[in-house]
Structure 1
Amino acid sequence: MDQTAKILEIPVVVTEQYPKGLGPTVPELGAEGLKKYSKTCFSMLIPEVEKELQRTPERQSVILCGIETHACIMSTTLDLLNKGFDVHVVADACSSRSQVDRLLALSRMKQSGAFLTTGEGAILQLLQDATHPKFKEVQKIIKDPAPDSGLLALFQNQNPLFS
Protein backbone atom coordinates (compact mmCIF):
# COMPACT_ATOMS: atom_id res chain seq x y z
CA MET A 1 0.00 0.00 0.00
CA ASP A 2 2.87 2.38 0.75
CA GLN A 3 4.18 2.27 -2.84
CA THR A 4 0.70 2.90 -4.21
CA ALA A 5 0.16 5.78 -1.78
CA LYS A 6 3.36 7.41 -3.04
CA ILE A 7 2.38 7.00 -6.69
CA LEU A 8 -1.15 8.30 -6.10
CA GLU A 9 0.06 11.02 -3.73
CA ILE A 10 -2.11 9.81 -0.86
CA PRO A 11 -0.98 10.98 2.57
CA VAL A 12 0.40 8.23 4.82
CA VAL A 13 0.57 8.46 8.60
CA VAL A 14 2.77 6.01 10.52
CA THR A 15 2.64 5.43 14.25
CA GLU A 16 4.95 3.26 16.30
CA GLN A 17 3.84 1.54 19.47
CA TYR A 18 6.42 2.43 22.14
CA PRO A 19 9.50 2.15 19.87
CA LYS A 20 11.81 2.76 22.84
CA GLY A 21 10.78 -0.60 24.29
CA LEU A 22 9.47 -2.53 21.26
CA GLY A 23 11.86 -1.22 18.63
CA PRO A 24 11.33 0.94 15.54
CA THR A 25 9.35 0.15 12.40
CA VAL A 26 11.25 -2.46 10.40
CA PRO A 27 12.62 -1.36 7.01
CA GLU A 28 10.77 -4.18 5.21
CA LEU A 29 7.53 -2.23 5.64
CA GLY A 30 8.81 0.52 3.34
CA ALA A 31 8.21 3.40 5.73
CA GLU A 32 11.68 4.92 5.41
CA GLY A 33 11.52 8.65 4.96
CA LEU A 34 8.04 8.88 6.45
CA LYS A 35 7.46 10.75 9.69
CA LYS A 36 6.65 8.34 12.49
CA TYR A 37 4.68 9.27 15.57
CA SER A 38 5.54 7.45 18.77
CA LYS A 39 2.65 6.37 20.99
CA THR A 40 1.86 4.25 24.01
CA CYS A 41 -1.94 4.14 23.68
CA PHE A 42 -3.34 1.51 21.34
CA SER A 43 -5.28 3.90 19.11
CA MET A 44 -3.22 5.84 16.64
CA LEU A 45 -5.58 8.78 17.02
CA ILE A 46 -3.10 10.73 19.13
CA PRO A 47 -3.09 14.56 18.99
CA GLU A 48 -0.39 14.67 16.27
CA VAL A 49 -2.37 12.30 14.03
CA GLU A 50 -5.58 14.23 14.64
CA LYS A 51 -3.75 17.36 13.42
CA GLU A 52 -2.69 15.46 10.29
CA LEU A 53 -6.32 14.49 9.65
CA GLN A 54 -7.46 18.09 10.14
CA ARG A 55 -5.10 19.24 7.37
CA THR A 56 -7.49 17.73 4.85
CA PRO A 57 -10.96 18.35 6.29
CA GLU A 58 -12.58 16.98 3.10
CA ARG A 59 -11.19 13.50 3.88
CA GLN A 60 -14.00 11.06 4.57
CA SER A 61 -12.20 7.72 4.36
CA VAL A 62 -9.16 6.17 5.97
CA ILE A 63 -7.34 2.99 4.98
CA LEU A 64 -5.74 1.11 7.88
CA CYS A 65 -3.16 -1.63 8.08
CA GLY A 66 -0.66 -2.64 10.72
CA ILE A 67 0.32 -4.87 13.54
CA GLU A 68 -1.76 -6.20 16.41
CA THR A 69 -5.14 -6.08 14.75
CA HIS A 70 -6.95 -6.73 18.03
CA ALA A 71 -5.26 -3.81 19.80
CA CYS A 72 -3.99 -0.91 17.67
CA ILE A 73 -5.97 -1.46 14.46
CA MET A 74 -9.24 -2.14 16.27
CA SER A 75 -8.85 0.79 18.70
CA THR A 76 -8.00 3.13 15.83
CA THR A 77 -10.88 1.83 13.73
CA LEU A 78 -13.42 2.34 16.52
CA ASP A 79 -12.09 5.85 17.22
CA LEU A 80 -12.24 6.81 13.53
CA LEU A 81 -15.75 5.41 13.15
CA ASN A 82 -16.81 7.47 16.18
CA LYS A 83 -15.47 10.56 14.43
CA GLY A 84 -17.55 9.80 11.32
CA PHE A 85 -14.87 8.42 9.00
CA ASP A 86 -15.37 5.51 6.63
CA VAL A 87 -12.71 3.01 7.67
CA HIS A 88 -11.28 0.45 5.27
CA VAL A 89 -9.19 -2.22 7.01
CA VAL A 90 -6.75 -4.04 4.73
CA ALA A 91 -7.18 -7.49 6.27
CA ASP A 92 -4.22 -9.09 4.50
CA ALA A 93 -1.97 -6.26 5.70
CA CYS A 94 -2.95 -6.61 9.36
CA SER A 95 -1.51 -9.13 11.77
CA SER A 96 -1.75 -10.29 15.34
CA ARG A 97 0.35 -12.66 17.39
CA SER A 98 -2.61 -15.04 17.32
CA GLN A 99 -4.96 -15.82 14.42
CA VAL A 100 -7.86 -16.01 16.89
CA ASP A 101 -7.22 -12.42 18.04
CA ARG A 102 -6.87 -11.32 14.43
CA LEU A 103 -10.06 -13.05 13.30
CA LEU A 104 -12.20 -11.78 16.16
CA ALA A 105 -10.86 -8.24 15.76
CA LEU A 106 -11.66 -8.24 12.03
CA SER A 107 -15.13 -9.56 12.82
CA ARG A 108 -15.75 -6.89 15.48
CA MET A 109 -14.54 -4.11 13.19
CA LYS A 110 -16.89 -5.33 10.45
CA GLN A 111 -19.79 -5.49 12.94
CA SER A 112 -18.94 -1.94 14.01
CA GLY A 113 -19.19 -0.61 10.47
CA ALA A 114 -15.67 -0.85 9.05
CA PHE A 115 -15.12 -2.21 5.57
CA LEU A 116 -12.79 -5.19 5.26
CA THR A 117 -10.75 -5.38 2.09
CA THR A 118 -7.48 -6.70 0.71
CA GLY A 119 -4.45 -4.75 -0.43
CA GLU A 120 -5.21 -5.35 -4.08
CA GLY A 121 -8.90 -4.60 -3.56
CA ALA A 122 -8.09 -1.27 -1.90
CA ILE A 123 -5.64 -0.35 -4.65
CA LEU A 124 -8.15 -1.09 -7.41
CA GLN A 125 -10.84 0.93 -5.60
CA LEU A 126 -8.45 3.86 -5.39
CA LEU A 127 -7.80 3.66 -9.14
CA GLN A 128 -11.46 3.02 -10.10
CA ASP A 129 -10.64 2.56 -13.81
CA ALA A 130 -7.93 1.04 -16.01
CA THR A 131 -7.79 4.41 -17.78
CA HIS A 132 -6.50 6.09 -14.61
CA PRO A 133 -3.31 7.96 -15.61
CA LYS A 134 -1.24 6.03 -13.05
CA PHE A 135 -2.84 2.61 -13.61
CA LYS A 136 0.12 1.07 -15.47
CA GLU A 137 2.54 2.22 -12.77
CA VAL A 138 0.40 0.80 -9.98
CA GLN A 139 -0.38 -2.37 -11.95
CA LYS A 140 3.29 -3.31 -11.66
CA ILE A 141 2.88 -3.44 -7.87
CA ILE A 142 -0.09 -5.84 -7.93
CA LYS A 143 1.05 -7.90 -10.93
CA ASP A 144 2.47 -10.69 -8.77
CA PRO A 145 0.15 -12.52 -6.39
CA ALA A 146 0.32 -11.37 -2.78
CA PRO A 147 1.92 -13.75 -0.28
CA ASP A 148 -0.43 -15.96 1.71
CA SER A 149 -1.76 -13.94 4.63
CA GLY A 150 -3.27 -16.93 6.41
CA LEU A 151 -6.79 -15.52 5.96
CA LEU A 152 -8.06 -17.91 3.31
CA ALA A 153 -8.29 -20.79 5.78
CA LEU A 154 -10.38 -18.59 8.07
CA PHE A 155 -13.00 -18.05 5.36
CA GLN A 156 -13.33 -21.66 4.26
CA ASN A 157 -16.56 -23.40 5.27
CA GLN A 158 -18.35 -20.04 5.54
CA ASN A 159 -16.86 -18.87 8.83
CA PRO A 160 -19.84 -17.71 10.95
CA LEU A 161 -17.93 -14.72 12.31
CA PHE A 162 -18.00 -13.13 8.86
CA SER A 163 -21.58 -14.00 7.88
Structure 2
Amino acid sequence: MSYTRLQAKDAALLLIDHQVGTMSWVRSTSFDDMKKNALILAKAAAILKLPTVLTSSMEDQAQGPLLSELETILPAEFEARIKRLGIVNAMDDENFAAAVKATGRNKLILAGVTNDVCTVYPALTLVGQGYDVQVVADAGGSPTKMADDIALRRMEKAGVTLTSTNQLIAELAGSWSTPEGGQLVQALGIG
Protein backbone atom coordinates (compact mmCIF):
# COMPACT_ATOMS: atom_id res chain seq x y z
CA MET A 1 0.00 0.00 0.00
CA SER A 2 1.55 3.28 -1.07
CA TYR A 3 1.44 6.49 0.96
CA THR A 4 -0.20 9.63 -0.36
CA ARG A 5 0.07 12.70 1.87
CA LEU A 6 -3.24 14.03 3.14
CA GLN A 7 -3.75 17.54 1.79
CA ALA A 8 -6.18 20.17 3.01
CA LYS A 9 -7.71 20.61 -0.46
CA ASP A 10 -8.96 17.02 -0.32
CA ALA A 11 -10.09 16.82 3.32
CA ALA A 12 -12.94 17.74 5.65
CA LEU A 13 -13.03 17.73 9.45
CA LEU A 14 -15.74 16.06 11.54
CA LEU A 15 -15.80 16.87 15.26
CA ILE A 16 -18.25 14.69 17.14
CA ASP A 17 -19.56 15.41 20.64
CA HIS A 18 -16.79 17.53 22.14
CA GLN A 19 -19.22 18.34 24.93
CA VAL A 20 -18.15 19.26 28.44
CA GLY A 21 -20.23 16.53 30.11
CA THR A 22 -19.24 13.75 27.72
CA MET A 23 -15.58 14.79 27.94
CA SER A 24 -15.73 14.53 31.74
CA TRP A 25 -16.50 10.79 31.41
CA VAL A 26 -13.13 10.12 29.74
CA ARG A 27 -10.38 8.53 31.86
CA SER A 28 -8.01 7.20 29.15
CA THR A 29 -6.52 10.69 28.72
CA SER A 30 -6.83 14.01 30.51
CA PHE A 31 -9.68 16.44 29.86
CA ASP A 32 -7.16 19.22 29.21
CA ASP A 33 -5.13 17.26 26.63
CA MET A 34 -8.25 16.12 24.81
CA LYS A 35 -9.65 19.67 24.78
CA LYS A 36 -6.33 21.17 23.63
CA ASN A 37 -6.11 18.70 20.73
CA ALA A 38 -9.73 19.21 19.65
CA LEU A 39 -9.20 22.98 19.62
CA ILE A 40 -5.97 22.62 17.64
CA LEU A 41 -7.93 20.65 15.03
CA ALA A 42 -10.57 23.39 14.92
CA LYS A 43 -7.88 26.08 14.52
CA ALA A 44 -6.23 24.07 11.74
CA ALA A 45 -9.59 23.78 9.98
CA ALA A 46 -10.02 27.56 10.19
CA ILE A 47 -6.46 28.23 8.94
CA LEU A 48 -6.71 25.74 6.07
CA LYS A 49 -10.37 26.48 5.28
CA LEU A 50 -11.34 22.84 5.70
CA PRO A 51 -15.04 22.13 5.42
CA THR A 52 -16.00 21.25 8.99
CA VAL A 53 -19.04 19.56 10.48
CA LEU A 54 -19.70 19.83 14.21
CA THR A 55 -22.26 17.69 15.98
CA SER A 56 -23.54 17.25 19.52
CA SER A 57 -25.91 14.90 21.27
CA MET A 58 -28.53 16.04 23.77
CA GLU A 59 -26.80 19.27 24.85
CA ASP A 60 -29.49 19.91 27.47
CA GLN A 61 -28.77 16.59 29.22
CA ALA A 62 -25.70 15.22 31.05
CA GLN A 63 -23.63 15.44 27.85
CA GLY A 64 -23.69 19.25 28.18
CA PRO A 65 -22.83 21.95 25.64
CA LEU A 66 -20.10 21.81 23.03
CA LEU A 67 -16.81 23.43 24.04
CA SER A 68 -17.51 27.17 23.94
CA GLU A 69 -14.14 27.82 22.29
CA LEU A 70 -15.41 26.05 19.17
CA GLU A 71 -17.90 28.89 18.68
CA THR A 72 -15.06 31.42 18.75
CA ILE A 73 -12.82 29.43 16.38
CA LEU A 74 -15.49 28.21 13.94
CA PRO A 75 -18.52 30.47 14.45
CA ALA A 76 -20.46 29.53 11.29
CA GLU A 77 -19.83 25.81 11.80
CA PHE A 78 -20.83 26.08 15.46
CA GLU A 79 -24.07 27.81 14.51
CA ALA A 80 -24.75 25.12 11.87
CA ARG A 81 -23.86 22.23 14.21
CA ILE A 82 -26.00 19.14 13.96
CA LYS A 83 -27.87 18.63 17.24
CA ARG A 84 -28.62 14.92 17.45
CA LEU A 85 -31.36 13.63 19.70
CA GLY A 86 -29.51 10.72 21.27
CA ILE A 87 -28.57 8.97 18.03
CA VAL A 88 -25.40 7.04 18.90
CA ASN A 89 -23.92 6.70 15.39
CA ALA A 90 -23.82 10.25 14.02
CA MET A 91 -24.01 8.80 10.50
CA ASP A 92 -27.48 7.44 11.38
CA ASP A 93 -28.64 11.06 11.75
CA GLU A 94 -29.81 12.14 8.30
CA ASN A 95 -28.77 15.77 8.88
CA PHE A 96 -25.23 14.81 9.88
CA ALA A 97 -24.90 12.34 7.00
CA ALA A 98 -26.12 15.02 4.57
CA ALA A 99 -23.65 17.56 6.00
CA VAL A 100 -20.77 15.10 5.57
CA LYS A 101 -21.79 14.44 1.97
CA ALA A 102 -22.16 18.19 1.34
CA THR A 103 -18.47 18.75 2.15
CA GLY A 104 -17.74 17.13 -1.22
CA ARG A 105 -14.60 15.60 0.26
CA ASN A 106 -13.68 11.91 0.30
CA LYS A 107 -10.88 12.19 2.87
CA LEU A 108 -12.31 12.73 6.31
CA ILE A 109 -10.52 13.71 9.50
CA LEU A 110 -12.62 12.57 12.44
CA ALA A 111 -12.31 13.14 16.17
CA GLY A 112 -14.95 12.39 18.75
CA VAL A 113 -15.74 11.87 22.38
CA THR A 114 -15.87 9.13 23.30
CA ASN A 115 -13.70 7.03 21.00
CA ASP A 116 -15.43 3.84 22.14
CA VAL A 117 -18.95 5.09 21.30
CA CYS A 118 -19.12 8.44 19.50
CA THR A 119 -16.12 7.90 17.20
CA VAL A 120 -16.06 4.18 16.40
CA TYR A 121 -19.47 3.81 14.77
CA PRO A 122 -19.36 6.78 12.37
CA ALA A 123 -15.76 5.86 11.47
CA LEU A 124 -16.78 2.29 10.63
CA THR A 125 -19.83 3.51 8.69
CA LEU A 126 -17.81 6.04 6.69
CA VAL A 127 -15.13 3.49 5.76
CA GLY A 128 -17.92 1.15 4.70
CA GLN A 129 -19.25 3.91 2.44
CA GLY A 130 -15.87 4.28 0.74
CA TYR A 131 -14.49 7.30 2.56
CA ASP A 132 -10.81 7.54 3.50
CA VAL A 133 -11.01 8.16 7.26
CA GLN A 134 -8.30 9.34 9.64
CA VAL A 135 -9.26 9.28 13.31
CA VAL A 136 -7.30 11.68 15.50
CA ALA A 137 -7.13 9.41 18.53
CA ASP A 138 -5.74 11.94 21.02
CA ALA A 139 -8.53 14.47 20.36
CA GLY A 140 -10.87 11.99 22.01
CA GLY A 141 -10.76 9.30 24.66
CA SER A 142 -12.83 6.68 26.44
CA PRO A 143 -13.96 5.91 30.00
CA THR A 144 -11.16 3.31 30.34
CA LYS A 145 -7.86 2.65 28.61
CA MET A 146 -9.09 -0.82 27.67
CA ALA A 147 -12.22 0.60 26.03
CA ASP A 148 -10.07 3.09 24.12
CA ASP A 149 -7.60 0.43 22.97
CA ILE A 150 -10.38 -1.88 21.78
CA ALA A 151 -12.13 0.93 19.86
CA LEU A 152 -8.89 2.00 18.18
CA ARG A 153 -8.02 -1.58 17.23
CA ARG A 154 -11.52 -2.13 15.86
CA MET A 155 -11.33 0.99 13.71
CA GLU A 156 -7.82 0.22 12.46
CA LYS A 157 -8.80 -3.33 11.55
CA ALA A 158 -11.69 -1.91 9.48
CA GLY A 159 -9.33 0.34 7.50
CA VAL A 160 -9.36 3.58 9.49
CA THR A 161 -6.01 5.37 9.65
CA LEU A 162 -5.18 6.27 13.24
CA THR A 163 -3.24 9.45 13.83
CA SER A 164 -2.43 12.02 16.51
CA THR A 165 -3.01 15.75 16.50
CA ASN A 166 0.65 16.68 15.96
CA GLN A 167 1.07 14.04 13.25
CA LEU A 168 -2.04 15.20 11.40
CA ILE A 169 -1.12 18.88 11.56
CA ALA A 170 2.39 18.16 10.28
CA GLU A 171 0.97 16.09 7.43
CA LEU A 172 -1.48 18.82 6.44
CA ALA A 173 1.19 21.51 6.71
CA GLY A 174 3.69 19.75 4.49
CA SER A 175 6.07 22.64 5.17
CA TRP A 176 6.29 24.93 8.19
CA SER A 177 7.77 27.64 5.94
CA THR A 178 4.51 28.45 4.14
CA PRO A 179 2.18 31.13 5.57
CA GLU A 180 -0.30 28.39 6.58
CA GLY A 181 2.51 26.26 8.02
CA GLY A 182 3.60 29.16 10.22
CA GLN A 183 0.04 29.59 11.47
CA LEU A 184 -0.26 25.86 12.13
CA VAL A 185 2.95 25.93 14.22
CA GLN A 186 1.35 28.67 16.31
CA ALA A 187 -1.87 26.64 16.64
CA LEU A 188 0.20 23.75 17.95
CA GLY A 189 1.70 26.11 20.51
CA ILE A 190 5.28 25.41 19.46
CA GLY A 191 5.94 28.49 17.34
TM-score, normalised to structure 2's length?
Answer: 0.69
Structure 1 counterpart of 2:129, which letter?
Answer: K
Aligned to 1:64: 110
Structure 1 counterpart of 2:67, which letter?
Answer: V
Structure 2 counterpart of 1:91, which letter?
Answer: A
- SS state of the match for residue 95, structure 1? coil
CA contact (8 A) 2:109 2:135 kept: yes
Matched, 1:26 2:67: yes
Matched, 1:82 2:128: yes
- SS state of the match for residue 31, structure 1? helix
CA RMSD of aligned residues (A): 1.7
Q: How many Å separate the matches in 2 of 1:67 and 1:53?
A: 18
Cα 1:56–1:67 change in 2 (3 A) is closer
Q: Structure 2 unaligned segments of length 5 or more: list them.
A: 1-40
Q: How many Å separate the matches in 1 of 2:42 and 2:142?
A: 20
Q: Indicate the structure (1 or 2) with the bigger Cα radius of gyration.
A: 1
Q: Which has the higher contact order (CA 8 A, sep 6+)?
A: 2
Identity across the alignment (%): 25
1:142-153 → structure 2 map (5 Å cutoff): 142-144=188-190
Q: Structure 1 unaligned segments of length 5 or more: list them.
A: 146-163
Q: Quote how far apart the aligned CAs of 1:106 are.
A: 0.6
Aligned length: 142
Aligned to 1:116: 162
Q: Quote how far apart the aligned CAs of 1:2 are.
A: 0.4
Q: Quote how far apart the aligned CAs of 1:56 are.
A: 3.5
Structure 2 counterpart of 1:37, which letter?
Answer: I
Cα 1:60–1:132 change in 2 (3 A) is farther
- SS state of the match for residue 13, structure 1? strand
Q: How many Å separate the matches in 2 of 1:129 and 1:60?
A: 23
1:98-137 deviation digits (Å, cap 9, x = unpaired): 1111111011101110000000111111122334331111
Aligned to 2:25: none
